[in-house]
């Protein structure tokens, strides 16, 4: 039987796996939609979960976290369930993290092995992949898409409907209102002034693939070619999986991509590269 502290409040349609743990003063509301909590997941204490919300296995949820509460949208009634929130497995949510449920056709989604540090936030309809790190105060607006192995520095911000490519690095106190391609690094507000070389090395990328990313970066961020000409330049090396990933990313960017030039903020994460 699940370990549920006597002070915890469990209401409505809630299913808790026998190997889960619900700590003191947690509130789990199976309304306006159901809540499902998987094996090995631990809600330490003073955690709030509201349905519809599905939480996978072996997640650790620290005090003050709220999961599945309604979107911060004046046009959305808190009594509406919406599509909810779906969380994978092996995630860590540190103190004060807030993730809201979706309001459109699809649920807000969090994948596996993500680490959300203190007071980070993901808005409604966000889609987050695997093995990402969100430092303290990271803010993801609604409908943001984050791929895999992304690192976001403290107090980084992402505008709604933006995408963050895999392996990207968002420097602390930076943000953007365009799409950030894979392995690019922000060095200021709406400036991708570098690439995440350290992250690529740590991920085990080959030297040739890292060199390919450097070439792509020069084409997209340093050349004076117009956008369509830049894509055509990338197509000269189509068939390379790394290049093909960038072609697909750029072509599907509805907001454009973060440029590589501008005034770089002092003390940015890219300074040591």
Give me the count of residues in the chain: 273
Q: Annotated catalytic residue: which of 142, 171, 172, 260?
A: 142
Q: Annotated catalytic residue: which of 84, 96, 123, 125?
A: 125
Ordered by where they begin, the domains of the chain are 3-146 (2.160.10.10)
Cα distances (Å, whole numbers) of residue 175 to 49, 64, 84, 141, 153: 29, 25, 27, 11, 10
125 assigned to active site:
yes
142 assigned to active site:
yes
88 assigned to active site:
no
> Closest Cα to residue 109, out of 87, 131, 82, 89?
87
Helix, coil or strand: residue 230: helix
Say which DSSP state 231 is in: H
Q: Annotated catalytic residue: which of 124, 129, 137, 165?
A: 124
Q: What is the pTM of this model?
A: 0.94
Q: What is the pLDDT along the chain (273 residues), one digit of tens a residue?
A: 789 999 999 999 999 999 999 999 999 999 999 999 999 999 999 999 999 999 999 999 999 999 999 999 999 999 999 999 999 999 999 999 999 999 999 999 999 999 999 999 999 999 999 999 999 999 999 999 999 999 999 999 999 999 999 999 999 999 999 999 999 999 999 999 999 999 999 999 999 999 999 999 999 999 999 999 999 999 999 999 999 999 999 999 999 999 998 644 433 333 222
């Amino acid at each position: 039987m699940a370990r549920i502290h006597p002070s915890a409040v469990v209401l409505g349609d809630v299913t808790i796996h026998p190997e889960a743990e619900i700590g003191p003063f947690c509130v789990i509301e199976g309304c306006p939609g159901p809540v499902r909590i998987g094996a090995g997941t631990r809600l330490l204490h003073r955690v709030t979960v509201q349905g519809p919300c599905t939480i996978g296995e072996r997640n650790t949820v620290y005090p003050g976290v709220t999961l599945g509460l309604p979107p911060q949208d004046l046009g959305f009634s808190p009594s509406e369930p919406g599509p909810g929130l779906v969380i994978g497995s092996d995630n860590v949510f540190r103190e004060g993290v807030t993730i809201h449920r979706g309001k459109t056709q699809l649920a807000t989604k969090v994948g596996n092995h993500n680490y959300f540090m203190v007071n980070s936030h993901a808005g409604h309809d966000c889609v987050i992949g695997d093995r990402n790190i969100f430092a303290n105060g990271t803010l993801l607006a609604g409908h943001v898409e984050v791929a895999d192995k992304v690192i976001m520095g403290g107090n980084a911000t992402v505008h709604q409907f933006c995408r963050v490519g895999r392996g990207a690095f968002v420097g602390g106190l930076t943000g953007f209102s365009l799409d950030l391609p894979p392995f690019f690094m922000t060095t200021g507000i709406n400036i991708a002034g570098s690439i995440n070389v350290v992250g690529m090395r740590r991920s085990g990328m080959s030297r040739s693939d890292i060199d390919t990313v450097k070439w792509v970066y020069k084409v997209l961020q340093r050349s004076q070619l117009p956008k369509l000409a830049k894509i055509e330049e990338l197509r000269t090396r189509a068939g390379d999986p790394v290049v093909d990933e960038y072609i697909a990313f750029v072509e599907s960017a509805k907001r454009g991509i973060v440029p590589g030039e501008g005034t770089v903020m002092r003390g940015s994460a890219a300074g040591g590269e």
